[in-house]
Structure 1
Amino acid sequence: RMTDLQAAVGRVQLRRLPELVAQRRRLASLYCEGLSTIPGLSIPTEPGWARSNWQSFCVRLSDEIDQRAVMQTLLDQGISTRRGVMNIHLEGAYTDQSSHRAATSLARSVSAQQQTVILPLYAQMTEVDIVRVVEALRQALAEATTGRVVRQSIEDVVPA
């Protein structure tokens, strides 16, 4: 249950909700613009009948790209990411329980878990932050696709 103090803070934050959602939408638009030219990457689209609040920004890597290698390369540059999809049927707590076994292989779910990455997205991000993530991801994907490591300091890409 919510305390009176939490409710008071929540009421004030609710007044800021339109501003926060507008900022997240602007940042997501910058991501879409920057990521749209990167081969081997699928970016989310917004259907014409809906407006996303962009709670998260999840991209999908092509089959030949090693998701964990990309995530590690980004982490090495100080950019934290997460897998985009978590599958309960693959979690240790549920794998041994027959009541939680799927009737099929759930191949699409497994594929989504292995190929999706959630990029950082929060209202305090700046355009410079977005450019930094986009360029770091571009570099990580190039390395993961070619198998060669081409290290370029992020400071060379985006001024600090």
Structure 2
Amino acid sequence: MGVPAARIVFDQSDRAAVAEAVTEMLTTGALTLGPWTERFEQAFAAEHGASHAVAVSSGTAALEVILRSIDVRGRDVVVPAVTFYATAGAVVHAGGRPVFADVDPATLALSSETLEAALTPDTAAVVLVHIGGLIGPQVDAVRALCDRRGVPLVEDAAHAHGSTFDGRAAGTFGLAGAFSFYPTKVTTSGEGGMILTESPELRDEARVHRDQGKGSFTTNHHVKPGYAWRMSEPHAAIGAVHLRRLKEFIETRRAVARRYDAALAGLDGLDPVLEPPGCRGNYYKYVALLPSGVDRAEFKRAVAEEHGVRLSGEVYDLPLHLQPVLAPYRRGPLPVAEDVCARQVCLPVHSDMTEDETQQVIDAVSAVYRRLAGAKGARSCG
């Protein structure tokens, strides 16, 4: 049997709970901004120790709503070069200018040093991304630098449901955090996003932005240039049901990651992005870096075709400053981002992954890596 790159896990009891909720809402006709949205918001906030949560249509919308609430129009927003397009896309759509920063190779995230190099006199916000669900120890230094400069810190926590650092949850280190519930995430609502914040003012702004800029759900008075960024009730019900499994899913993923850590320690040159001290990640992704000279495409092909193991999409194979659509904002090379994006692979981690599947991945990666790394060594000696 093969091991897929991703697997979405809803057991029979989850499916029954969602079906019951959908029957209820179809009976009542409450299909948007109803009781399930409120339940999901309250449960997600409680899970992360946050005061306020606002459900929206996607993680991208969550980030853009936060940036619009800050009002970054015509100003700079620092984003790491190692992240998904949407991090910068939200800045552009909110009227800001993305400024790309290099990353710490140990965490693939901003550090205070890379952030300081990217700050400008016109910086309106900083976006910190928790790649793969790992929160690095640099988070406090990044927050302190933002505070000294008087710049709000925003977390792109699209990968980081339930992740913590020193007992504090993702989405609670800055002014606000944005989460995604795209189907492959550790918990999903099908499509959707969530904003966490301690600020009642930002919470209220977000509620206005998500509902076409209306001052309240029941009026036709539009006070902001909002969008249709609501989360539907069916999506909220799916999200609320799946959220109940978050702790269980994270435990399963962490057990897989511990076995990968041990196995990769015996493969000289194939270096995992290890969990930093103080971090308790959800392992949305398990990232490892191939040594220079090992062909990533050939590595992935061999693992898939010879062993039936599909390596999930990189995070990410092309840094933001080299994305064609973002070329107008390019300011120069970012060597660490370019290096780690060129060399990274992601080993499969599923929320119901079995010991046999984990071993199949370890055997496949070990066999292919030893062969390709040995061939690379032979060429370098020839």
TM exceeding 0.5: yes
Q: What is the Cα deviation at residue 114 of structure 1?
A: 1.2
Answer yes or no: is 1:88 the counterpart of 2:320.
yes
Q: Does 1 or 2 have the higher relative contact order (CA < 8 Å, sep 6+)?
A: 1
- Where in structure 2 are the equivalents of 1:17-56 lying within 5 Å? 17-56=246-285
Q: How does 1:53-92 map to 2 (within 5 A)?
A: 53-76=282-305, 77-81=307-311, 82-85=313-316, 86-92=318-324
CA distance in 2, matches of 1:143, 1:100: 41
Opposite residue 22 of structure 1, the aligned amino acid is E
- Determine the C-alpha separation between the residues in 2 that align with 1:70 and 1:25: 24
Gaps of 5+ in 2: 1-229, 377-382
1:134 aligns with 2:134: no
Aligned 8 A contact 1:84 1:113 in 2: yes
C-alpha deviation, 1:120, in angstroms: 0.8
Q: Is the 8 A contact 1:74 1:136 kept in 2?
A: yes
What stretches of structure 1 of length at least 5 have no aligned partner?
149-160
% identity of equivalent residues:
26
User: Under a length normalisation based on structure 1, what TM-score does the superposition of the two structures give?
Assistant: 0.81
Q: Which amino acid in the other structure matches residue 113 of structure 1?
A: C
- Alignment match, 1:151: none
> In the aligned structure 2, how far is the partner of 1:84 from the partner of 1:40?
19
The one-letter code sitting in structure 2 at the alignment partner of 1:115 is R
Please tell me the residue identity of whatever aligns with 1:84.
V
Aligned residues: 144
| More strand, by proportion | 2
Give the AA of the match of 2:298.
A
Amino acid at match of 1:34: A
Letter in 2 for 1:92: P
The structure whose residues are more often helix, as a share, is 1
Give the Å deviation of 1:28: 0.9
2-structure distance, mates of 1:16, 1:30: 22
Mapped pair 1:8 → 2:214: no
Distance of 2:273 and 2:256 partners within structure 1? 13
Runs of 4+ deviating beyond 6 Å: none
Map of 1:124 onto structure 2 = 352
* Aligned mates of 2:315, 2:367 — CA distance in 1: 20
Secondary structure of the structure 1 residue equivalent to 2:279: coil
Q: Secondary structure at the match of 2:352?
A: coil
Q: CA deviation at 1:12?
A: 1.6
Tell me, yes or no, if the aligned pair for 2:322 and 2:330 is still in contact at 8 Å.
no
